[in-house]
């Protein structure tokens, strides 16, 4: 194999690795944001910050129906959107590797997160 073909093959491999890294970074970022959003909704649902209690999930109102509790849960999750974004952005530098310079990771920061 001549030198130019080996160089092209190396460039392709580097591009693929950069793309893989950017994809994994985006997945970790999405998981972080979803986790923080859920955690904030749990805290907002009525817990008193006892982490053992918080670790068991949402507080439901036994006098309400499952549907009413589910509606409340979704409202709490929606209300956590702005604080979740703010808090998650604080943790991003600690959790995520730096973005690649190849362009494969471009646009990841503005993606919608559920």
DSSP state of 61: -
Question: What's the pTM?
Answer: 0.47
- Do the beta carbons of residue 19 and residue 104 sit within 8 Å? yes
Q: What is the pLDDT of residues 58-72, one digit of tens each?
A: 888 889 999 999 999
- For residue 111, give both structure tokens: 């993606």
- Do the beta carbons of residue 111 and residue 26 sit within 8 Å? yes
Measured CA angle at 41 (ends 40, 46), to 5 deg: 105
Q: What is the pLDDT of residues 33-53, one digit of tens each?
A: 887 777 777 777 776 666 676
- For residue 2, give both structure tokens: 């001549």
Count of CB atoms situated within 10 Å of the CB of 67:
8
């Amino acid at each position: 194999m001549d030198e130019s073909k080996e160089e092209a093959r190396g460039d392709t491999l580097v591009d693929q690795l950069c793309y893989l890294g950017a994809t994994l970074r985006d997945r970790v970022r999405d998981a972080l944001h979803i986790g923080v959003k859920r955690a904030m909704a749990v805290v907002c649902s009525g817990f008193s910050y006892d982490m053992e209690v918080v670790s068991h999930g949402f507080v439901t109102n036994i006098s309400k129906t499952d549907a009413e509790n589910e509606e409340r849960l979704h409202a709490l999750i929606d209300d956590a959107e702005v604080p979740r974004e703010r808090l998650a952005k604080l943790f991003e530098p600690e959790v995520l590797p730096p973005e690649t310079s190849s362009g494969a990771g471009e646009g990841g920061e503005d993606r919608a997160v559920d």
